[in-house]
Chain A
Amino acid sequence: MTALIEAREVALSFGETPALRGASFRAEAGEIVAVMGPSGSGKSTLLHCLAGILVPDSGEVKFAGDRIDQMSETRRSALRRDRFGFVFQFGQLVPELTAQENVALPLLLGGVRRTAAMSRAQEWFERLDLSGMEGRRSGELSGGQAQRVALARALVAQPQVLFADEPTGALDSLTGEHVMDLLVGSAKEQGTTVVLVTHEARVAAYADREIIVRDGRVAVPEGLAS
């Protein structure tokens, strides 16, 4: 099988401190892979390299066969906007915008006209049990609601890869499970590949498989055997 997204022997240091020391990773189209490991092991740095947010010092990062690590910042930005979606621990919604405008944002940035963007954003409110929340701003949403809005924003442009970094880290168990049910259900429905960084086994159990990052390396490279 061809990997949709792949890292090979990626190394990256912050100053004198190595964060990744030759980490390798691959995910097929539609696959959900959990990236686990202790705090400070490099799992979020690996996600940032895969997503083109950070450029590694050495090694290769490929998306659909193209070297992300060799792309210009402009091309990587376009890739992040058009092909990738992101959910972080804290929803990181734009506080000045309504929930619906937040969800529509990736479409608006991608050049979709406002009426069409708002209409497509609206569809996600029912899908993620958020009906009636469209006009609220982030300060008027609970943690679980804000995270579901963030999820809708990440998926509205139908990305090929969803990067989720501790998406339930700030939520209680029940709310976290609701968010994960929706995240996995929506990703599977759309055929979206998910790279899910988490230190929680219950969250990782939603994935098709897991890898363990330890000291900047992938310690349990299950799925790399091919």
Chain B
Amino acid sequence: MTVPLTLLGLLEREPSHGYELKRDYDAYFGRGRPLPFGQVYATLGRLARDGKVVISDVGKGDGPDRKRYIITEVGATEVDAWLTEPVEPEPHLQTILFSKVVLALMLGRPAEEYLDTQRRAHLQRMRELTEVRRTGGLVDALLADHSLFHLEADLRWIDLTAARLDSLAKEVRK
């Protein structure tokens, strides 16, 4: 789910060839799991079909591609909405949150505000679970505790990342 949006985000930074998108995706988001070329082009094809990118035939860049992809207004709006909206709080969100933070920094967007919004969404969910703990039986409390501990781990990551945004920005901005 994050691959199309991440590629769109990279295209908002600058129009790119498919192999450039794959290179940047693998460098910042792949982390040992490179994106297959086939998936890159299939995704770009779908984005073009849906009017989120357009193709500009401008000849070769550093690689074999002839097609250069440019994000459209529809695509940019989708990236903006994705970055701005908090993710539904649930355990194991690090991959999505990480992608959003890095992209926001690449695009010069307010990553700290996104993290604050996400923190609020997490704390709201934790409040609901805490109420379940306080008013429910032991089984409910133990199940709520499991979710609470995982959400708390996410929040610690959010806090740590917020404290390191300046350093991270230097690393990911071109």
Contact with B along A178-202 (1 / 0, CB 8 A): 0001001100000000000000111
Please pick, from B122, B133, B134, the residue contacting A201 in the complex, using a CB distance under 8 A: B122
- Say yes or no: is B148 at the interface (Cβ < 8 Å to chain A): yes
Q: Nearest chain-A residue to B133 (Cβ)?
A: A177
Check if A201 sits within 8 Å of B130, measured CB to CB. Answer: no
Docked pose: A206 CA to B159 CA in angstroms: 19
The contact sample of 27 A-B pairs, CB cut-off 8 A, is A38-B159, A38-B163, A177-B133, A181-B134, A184-B134, A185-B134, A201-B123, A201-B126, A201-B151, A201-B152, A202-B152, A204-B123, A205-B123, A205-B127, A205-B129, A205-B130, A205-B148, A206-B127, A206-B130, A207-B127, A210-B120, A210-B123, A212-B116, A212-B119, A220-B119, A220-B120, A222-B120
B40 at the interface (CB under 8 A from A): no
Which of B127, B129, B163 has the largest number of chain A CB atoms within 10 A?
Answer: B127
> Roughly how many angstroms separate A166 CA and B122 CA in the complex, as a whole number?
20
Chain B residue with Cβ nearest A205: B126
| Chain A CB within 8 A of B155 CB | yes
A210→B116 CA distance, assembly (Å) = 11
Q: Which of A181, A184, A205, A206 has the most CB of B within 10 A?
A: A205
The 7 closest A-B pairs by CB, nearest first: A205-B126, A205-B130, A201-B155, A201-B152, A220-B116, A205-B127, A202-B152
Instruction: Scan B147-167; emit 1 where CB is below 8 A from any A CB, else 0.
Output: 010011001100100010000
Residues of chain B within 8 A of A205, CB atoms compared: 123, 126-127, 129-130, 148
Q: How distant is the Cα of A161 from the Cα of B163 in the complex, in angstroms?
A: 32
B155 proximity list for chain A (CB < 8 A): 201
Interface footprint category on A: 10 to 19
CA distance A200 to B133 in the complex (A): 17
Contacts between the two chains (Cβ within 8 Å), count: 39
Looking across the interface, which residue of chain A has its beta carbon closest to that of B126?
Answer: A205
Instruction: Name which residue of chain B comes closest to A181, CB basis.
Output: B134
Additional pairs, 11, CB under 8 Å, beyond known A220-B119, A222-B120: A38-B159, A177-B133, A185-B134, A200-B152, A202-B130, A205-B126, A206-B127, A206-B130, A207-B127, A210-B120, A219-B116
Rounded to whole Å, the gap between the CB of B129 and the closest CB of chain A is 7
Which residues on A sit within 8 Å (CB–CB) of B148?
202, 205
Q: What residues of A have a CB within 8 angstroms of the CB of B159 in the complex?
A: 38
- When each residue 40-82 of chain A gets 1 if its CB lies under 8 Å from chain B and 0 otherwise, what string results? 0000000000000000000000000000000000000000000
Task: Name the B residues within 8 Å of A212 (CB-CB).
Answer: 116, 119
| B contact residues around A202 at 8 Å (CB) | 126, 130, 148, 152
Most buried by A among B123, B133, B155, B159: B123
Cβ of B127: which chain A residues have Cβ within 8 Å of it? 205-208
Given the complex of chains A and B, what is the CA–CA distance between A185 and B135 in angstroms?
A: 11
| Distance A46 CA – B155 CA, assembled complex (angstroms) | 23
Residues of the A chain whose Cβ atoms lie less than 8 Å from the Cβ of B116:
212, 219-220
Residues of A contacting B156 in the complex (Cβ-Cβ under 8 angstroms): 201
> In whole angstroms, what is the CA distance A206 to B163 when docked?
24
* 133-152 of chain B: CB within 8 A of chain A: 133-134, 148, 151-152
Q: Within the complex, what minimum Cβ distance (angstroms) separates A218 from chain B?
A: 11
